Structure 1
């Protein structure tokens, strides 16, 4: 790629994209306001970004019934953890570097909510019980001290047709199953076994 096509400093970026309007910059605040709190209370899904030991960005989805993320009396976030794949990349990252970023999503809403802050991992048993689903307490929770937050405009959701089922197409085979099988040197038979095991896990071990 020719250097003339490389965007390598901010002046080039602004010349291409433009500078944000004052009204847009004003939406970035340091604490969750009432509309943001309502959005979090309606959200069943968040994407959590952390930084690994090599300084690379990592991201993980967290989902539960709407309102699964709580906001305490200080305006900070409490995110419960459920059984997963046990890789715990994001949690290990937080132990090394506590900076965190989140995007909250609400089905049918075009806008998303972005939050930045610092995180700690906690296991207060009273809190874990309060976060129970299907009579099973949370395993632990992430406590996020909010430092910056703002609503992101809905253009990405509009362009992606995410909330339009008629645009989704049919659900096909699990590409994750295919990838795992290939990594294990497997064949169609292994794919079938993996598919069955994953479906069993989804059914019996969500909580």
Structure 2
């Protein structure tokens, strides 16, 4: 059953309680089953959502080689934090509010999504042994990640459920080596917008 009173209130208001109950009973788990674990291990991307202590939200995107999000066990997953823009928005939120939502979507084959919600914390590389990972997993991390993973975000799973394929597009992978027009790190011309704003003021 839902943990959020808002869900229950709107289910009653819009008369969807019966459908929702069927979903909770048939589609939602409080851990990962083998099919979910295999699905995660095949994904190259995940969308993440976090918020700070005041509820101000942030969404972000993480990507890597297939299986970069690692399944530790039925109730724990972890993903690497690579070098980025240095803002630390998502991890900053996690230090204030551990609740996190992960959204895996297979755009290329099944067109199915998997929601994984839970509580997160930051784990430094030197602390990985606290997760009691098998030696072969530690070795695999060292081989595949090298020094790219600056640290890890570990998620204790509380909810896992499907996102149906109805409106998920089927995409085709393209060769990333082909050159495309780019304006570097300021694609949206923010710097110029700030200059223009100062000139107008």
TM-aligned CA deviation for residue 64 of structure 1: 0.2
2:19 alignment partner, SS class? coil
Relative to structure 1, the CA distance from residue 183 to residue 19 in structure 2 (aligned partners, 3 Å threshold; closer, same or farther) is: farther
Q: Which residue of 2 aligns with 1:24?
A: 23
Counterparts of 1:74-153 in structure 2 under 5 Å? 75-108=75-108, 109-125=110-126, 127=128, 130-132=140-142, 133=144, 135-153=146-164
Contact kept, 8 Å, 1:129 with 1:137, in 2: the verdict is no
Counterpart for residue 61 of structure 1: 61
Q: 1:78 Cα deviation (Å)?
A: 1.0
Cα shift at 1:11:
5.7
Task: Give me the whole-angstrom Cα distance separating, in 1, the residues matched to 2:30 and 2:36.
Answer: 12
Deviation at 1:96, TM superposition (A): 0.5
Query: Offset at 1:185?
Result: 1.9
Matched pairs, number: 170
Q: Relative to 1, partners in 2 of residues 1:184 and 1:79: Cα closer, same or farther, differing over 3 Å?
A: same
* 2:167 alignment partner, SS class: helix
TM-score normalised to structure 1 length: 0.70
Paired position in structure 1 for 2:41: 41
Deviations 1:29-49 (A, max 9, x none): 101001100110011100111
Segments of 5+ residues of structure 2 without an aligned counterpart are 1-8, 129-137, 174-179, 197-201
Per-residue CA shift, 1:160-205, capped at 9, x if unaligned?
Answer: x35157xxxxx7665952332333427xxxxxxxxxxxxxxxxxxx
Would the aligned equivalents of 1:47 and 1:103 in 2 still touch at CA under 8 Å?
yes
TM-score, normalization by structure 2: 0.72
> Against the structure 1 CA distance between its residues 131 and 149, is the aligned structure 2 distance closer, same or farther, given a 3 Å change threshold?
same
Cα deviation 1:87-146 (Å, max 9, x = unaligned): 111101000010111101224131100011000101133748753547434100001000
> Match of 2:195?
185
Aligned 8 A contact 1:117 1:146 in 2: yes
Partner of 1:205: none
CA distance in 2, matches of 1:19, 1:185: 55
